[in-house]
Amino acid sequence: MPLDPAILNEMTLAEKIGQLTMVTAGYATTGPIVAGDTTAALKAGRIGSLFNLWGRDAVRAAQRQAVKETRLGIPLFFGLDVIHGFRTIFPIPLAETGAFDIALWERTAMEAAAEAAAEGIDLTFTPMLDIGRDPRWGRIAEGIGEDPLAGARFARAKVQGLQSRDFAGDGRLAACAKHFVAYGAVTAGRDYAPVDISRRTLEEVYLPPFHAAVAAGVASLMPAFTDLDGVPLSANGDMLRGVLRDRWGFEGIVISDYGAIGELIKHGVAGDLAEAAALALNAGVDIDMMAYAYERGLPDALDRGLVAMATLDAAVMRVLRFKEHLGLFDDPYRRCSGSEGETADRRASRRVAAREAGQRSLVLLKNEGGLLPFGGRHRRLAVIGPLADAPAEMLGPWASAGKGADAVSVLAGLHEALPAVDIVHAEGVSIAGEDRAGIAAAVEVARSADGVILCLGEAAAMSGEAASRARIDLPGCQEELFAAVAETGKPLVVLLFSGRPLSAPDVFARAKAVLACWFPGSEAGRAIADVLTGASSPVGRLPVTWPRHVGQVPIYFAARTGGRPENPADKYTSKYLDLPNAPEFPFGHGLGYGDIAFSDLAVDVGERLAISLTASNRGERDDEVVVFLFIRDPVASVARPALELKDFTRLRLAAGESLRLTFTLTRGRLSFLDQRLQPVFEGGDLEILVGPSADRARLLSTTITYR
């Protein structure tokens, strides 16, 4: 039945506040507060939504209590952090962003949504759209890399894949874009730390992915834990009302992060829970997740005149409309009726998708002498390191209901792919421990083989929320293990597992090949084996700039040059005494097994710019490449970045094939924010650069005049 707006007149204050209260059911730990038994509060109508509960039977039982045992029978909705998969885990978002494959982004979202919806979930707290330019920050693993254009396209694809325009549909989830906004700019990369950025940086870098999500119809949004210019986002009416609702026209619901409203007291902007609740509700936060601030603070806030009943009623109606759009008033059990699960064929198909996503997210950073792919050259292969036989670590952070026992390790994947090869294994050291006793045995295993695969990196728990690292090098004794194995002189491939770029200069200097695996998900071992053996090509590219050393961060390709750009011949320019400014690898870097080159850049200047070039695969294998289009505006009323990404596309070329590619840019896409932060187009000279990464040495370029 449709929602009757008159229901608001029937609701008590406690029931209204209940609709604005979300609590955890306890299946997963996502914050510092444990809800305990929710039954009594649920039956009293003091809970409007639950998260961390899944499974049709469990969800149906909770829903029945809300519908049958409360006075008004208003259904619940159920949320979960389905960040990169539900039971079938796909690569972490940072890795998947590096595929630069919009169809893949949408497909994995659709798969995750269908799997979670089949177990009663209505809403997922994703996509995370925080730009990340500091790899010390653990949550860079969950995000979209460093570029706002790539982030905006990722946002649209994920919203479309998760919910489309009708998130009540079968196999769909309501999406929740988070964390609004600039959470990735936390001071020194420390999670939850203050954010202090310019309004220009906010507008140009951090807002565009969220704007794209809103334009795509995202159903809900979550403010960041952090502040912006001293105002916590959970109490920031300028952002939640002014930008989100008034400027962008967002009509969905706003859900606080875990306990964030109560934390307004620790932020120092609220003196007690009533003030905190009033600040959040007045700013535009509809649902209080696990702070109990609305339940315990709003009655007092209303009595003290800190918030108006009309403001409370408006939030309640937004929540009820959201439930109506979910179809819950028509059928509260739409996602939890019956007990049948998905078919074996459907589960197998999803694993195939996870394997493909894993393949396409791997980034080949180095391949000296064409060591990879292996082909059939090895009779005995040593697989060494703490991450060689670690299936649970392959899932990465925020693995939802995924189980390590269901994941494929590197060792298992190689055994399956290379049945005729004698594969020997040694752990060597643990991921973060100080025990070096196993290094000698690992070296002997390496010496006995004619090729070595060394699996190094972070544990899954070293990335994600509350997992910032001041040092971004290999933890524990892994560098010593690497040095000892490298001394054997055996052909050495290093597989790096992490939720962030890692500083490992010795690895990049001495290993013959290095593959950034990130955390590839449930099918990790098979996906990696596919690339190592050449069954598939490495097609991933870096969505972030990879620093040489932590002292370079934050580091990103779109920085401005300043008045004294780096000049090695001049001491008084912007550079380090002990390192070059250049990163270990630029944004967009990644190697394939083909040999794709670019030539014949041309620009047709008319009402629009038509930018064309030829891509040719000179190699003996089919290959794919991402082509990036950058611009550089050398003279403008506001200093522009050294490079600005304006477009990208992915090409597949057969061996020996050439293709003419054209990008189109309009005046609107060449505008920027002037000194008053208003869009402006300024004609004049414009440098056009096209190629495989943000490395100027690999870009074709030309300068045109456009007015």
Q: What does the pLDDT look like over 289-301, one tens digit per residue? A: 999 999 999 999 9
What's the mean pLDDT in 107-134?
97
pLDDT in tens, 136-172: 999 999 999 999 999 999 999 999 999 987 899 889 9
In the chain, the percentage of residues whose pLDDT exceeds 70 is 98
Write down the residue that tokens 């522009």 correspond to.
640
Q: Residue 385: what pLDDT?
A: 98
Q: How confident is the model at residue 35 (pLDDT cuts 50, 70, 90)?
A: low
- Angstrom distances, CA of residue 17 to CA of 383, 480, 632: 57, 57, 52
Cα 575 from Cα 555, distance rounded (Å): 13
Q: Residue 166: what pLDDT?
A: 85
Cα 338 from Cα 342, distance rounded (Å): 12
Active-site amino acid positions: 257
Q: Residue 40: what pLDDT?
A: 86
Cα 702 from Cα 707, distance rounded (Å): 16
User: Is the model's pLDDT at 33 over the cut of 50?
Assistant: no
pLDDT in tens, 321-350: 999 999 999 999 999 987 767 888 999 999
Cα 504 from Cα 584, distance rounded (Å): 9
User: Is the model's pLDDT at 28 over the cut of 70?
Assistant: no
Q: Where in the chain is the domain with CATH 2.60.40.10?
A: 596-706
Token pair, residue 391, equals: 């299936």
Region at 217 (left for phi over 0; alpha for psi -120 to 50; beta for the rest): left
pTM score of the predicted model: 0.97
| CATH for 346-552 (3.40.50.1700, 3.40.640.10, 1.10.760.10, 3.30.460.10) | 3.40.50.1700
Q: Where in the chain is the domain with CATH 3.40.50.1700?
A: 346-552
Q: How confident is the model at residue 34 (pLDDT cuts 50, 70, 90)?
A: very low
What's the mean pLDDT in 568-596?
96
Higher pLDDT, 416 or 4: 416
User: Is the model's pLDDT at 39 over the cut of 90?
Assistant: no
Q: Report CA torsion sign: 396, 401, 403, 406.
A: negative
Q: How confident is the model at residue 29 (pLDDT cuts 50, 70, 90)?
A: low
Residue 315: name the closest of 354, 278, 344 by CA.
Answer: 278
Q: Residue 377: what pLDDT?
A: 79
Contact 346, 512 (CB under 8 A): no
Q: Residue 30: what pLDDT?
A: 60
Q: Residue 656: what pLDDT?
A: 95
Q: How confident is the model at residue 32 (pLDDT cuts 50, 70, 90)?
A: low
Q: Where in the chain is the domain with CATH 3.20.20.300?
A: 1-79+279-341
Q: Residue 440: what pLDDT?
A: 98
Token pair, residue 611, equals: 């930018």
606, HSE (Cβ side, Cα atoms, 13 Å) = 6
Tell me, rounded to whole angstroms, the distance of Cα 17 from its chain centroid.
33
**Strand 380-384 and strand 451-457: pairing?**
parallel
**Strand 623-632 and strand 644-653: pairing?**
antiparallel
Q: Residue 36: what pLDDT?
A: 60
Q: Which fold has domain 596-706?
A: Immunoglobulin-like (2.60.40)
Q: How confident is the model at residue 378 (pLDDT cuts 50, 70, 90)?
A: confident
| CATH for 1-79+279-341 (1.10.3720.10, 3.20.20.300, 3.20.20.370, 3.90.950.20) | 3.20.20.300
